[in-house]
């Protein structure tokens, strides 16, 4: 859901993290890969601001999501 921030824990599979390099979003740069056990989205949860990176599974994956609201309730 856009406008929400989460911690995402990768349980199985793999994800790629990239960043758009132009205003149109046509070019992306690979930033890093996420392996099982890694957590992404922590900065967004701490600050409450939306991130600027794209997280995409590059094969079938299983994730666990914890919303910012859940963390601070």
Q: What is the pLDDT of residue 3?
A: 55
DSSP count for the chain of H helices, then E strands: 2, 6
Tens of pLDDT, residues 7-56: 889 999 999 999 999 888 789 999 999 999 999 887 777 777 777 788 89
Q: What is the pLDDT of residue 61?
A: 96
Range list of H helices, the chain: 42-47, 68-72
Return the higher-pLDDT residue of 1 and 61.
61
Closest CA to 44 of 35, 54, 52: 52
Consecutive H or E run containing 49? none
Q: What is the pLDDT of residue 4?
A: 66
> In sequence order, which residues have a C-beta less than 8 Å from that of residue 26 and are 6 or more positions away?
none
């Amino acid at each position: 859901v856009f406008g929400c921030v989460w911690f995402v824990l990768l349980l199985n599979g793999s994800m790629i993290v990239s960043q758009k390099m132009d205003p149109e979003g046509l070019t992306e740069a690979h930033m890093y890969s996420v392996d099982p056990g890694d957590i992404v989205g922590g900065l967004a949860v701490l600050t409450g601001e939306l991130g600027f990176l794209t997280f995409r599974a590059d094969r079938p994956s299983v994730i666990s999501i914890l919303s910012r609201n859940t963390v601070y309730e």
